[in-house]
Amino acid sequence: MKLQAVFLFLFISLMSFSAFCQDQYKIVNIGFYNLENLFDTLDTPGKLDEEFTPKGTKLYNTAMYTDKLTRLSTVISMLGKDVSPDGIAMLGVAEVENRKVLEDLVAQPLLKDMDLHIIHYESEDFRGIDVGLLYQPKYFTPISSKPINLPIYNSEGEKIYTRQTLYAAGIMDGDTIHILVNHWPSRRGGSASEPLRMQGAAICKSVKDSILAVNPGAKVIVMGDLNDDPTDKSLVKSLKAKGSKKDLNADEMYNPYVDFYKKGIGTTAYQDAWSLFDQVIVSPGWISDTTGYNYYKARVFNEKFITEKSGKYKGYPQRTFSGDSYNFGYSDHFPVYLSFVKKL
């Protein structure tokens, strides 16, 4: 049944793409995927990765790691295929232990033809998980990249060692674009953790504003597992992201996932409630360009084959582990992506 679902998805995607091509548009997909604890099996000094080792509580071994890579590559190979035969052009990722696991991922047979390249920096996160950016060089040529440390502090003034924001700038078919890949602090601690994500959002806005100060029409993307929903303060107040393209002010951003959230669509679930933490948000330059790429549509990739099939978690993303038992899953998050079009 799983194989039939994949073939059906590819058939529908091909038909949709063929119809779209008749209008003579060029299309590019840019997305984000939290890979849920993509660790290797080695115990790395200075990182809290012991549970993801053969001697750890999860008895994590090479067979599990290999299966995880196969499953993730299956999903990534399908992203964007509904509108483009090349799939996803750029993909921000989170919860990766190091560059090596990304190298192993892009080397998977299903991804080899995509020739995915990697931008990655080690972060200060106490668990040792990072963000990264995968890209097809036929679509994107990097100009510069850097990690942005988040000087985030708790109410006691103590620094929170969390994931860095990855900044990358480059050329996409003539358009200069700027991407910020994030994994903001978790909701551990309840409402007391909200200011931490607001600080993360404020840092992203500061970077975005500095780019737009030089070029008001600049194309900026803020993406990631933001650990907040589209209507939470970090997005609405700190980042100034709104769910409408109409009357978008210069200092605001457009968040297409507001509508998804209001319709009850999420990317991760907990205690019978859906959250839409994974988002891709764009600056006004992606809305009003008359010659380059413009925003076309958004998607949450929630195909049935990556969901739990039965039990109380039926319909949830099929996670890798259930407690300490290997669950033969993909991730506890659904991937998301935006499609951008350029008229030929």
The answer to whether position 83 is within a domain reads yes
Could you tell me the residue range of the domain that residue 262 belongs to?
25-338
Residue 17 lies in a domain: no
Report the C-alpha gap between 128 and 39 in whole angstroms: 9
pLDDT of residue 308: 97
- Is residue 13, in this structure, part of any structural domain at all? no
Spell out the residues 6+ positions from residue 273 whose beta carbon is closer than 8 angstroms to its own.
none
Cα first-last separation, the chain: 40
| pLDDT for 153 | 79
Total count of domains within the chain: 1
Q: Residue 2: inside a domain, yes or no?
A: no
Q: Is residue 281 part of a domain?
A: yes
Residues pairing with 300 in the sheet: 336
Ordered per-residue pLDDT tens for the chain, 344 residues: 555 655 556 555 555 555 555 468 899 999 999 999 999 999 998 888 999 999 999 999 999 999 999 999 999 999 999 999 999 999 999 999 999 999 999 999 999 999 999 999 999 888 889 999 999 999 999 999 999 998 887 778 888 788 999 999 999 999 999 999 999 999 887 778 899 999 999 999 999 999 999 999 999 999 999 999 999 999 999 999 999 999 899 999 999 999 999 999 999 999 889 999 999 999 999 998 888 999 999 999 999 999 999 998 999 999 999 999 999 999 999 999 999 999 88
Residue 54 placed within a domain: yes
DSSP string computed for 208-261: HHHHHHH-TT-EEEEEEE-SS-TTSHIIIIIS-EES--TT--TT-EE-THHHHH
What's 73's domain CATH number? 3.60.10.10
Question: What integer pLDDT is reported at residue 328 of this predicted model?
Answer: 97
Give a yes or no: residue 234 inside a domain.
yes
Q: What is the pLDDT of residue 171?
A: 98
Q: Are strands 253-254 and 241-242 parallel, antiparallel or unpaired?
A: parallel
- The answer as to whether 343 is a domain residue is no
DSSP string covering 9-27: HHHHHHHHHHHHHTT-EEE
What is the rounded CA–CA span in Å between residue 153 and residue 158?
5
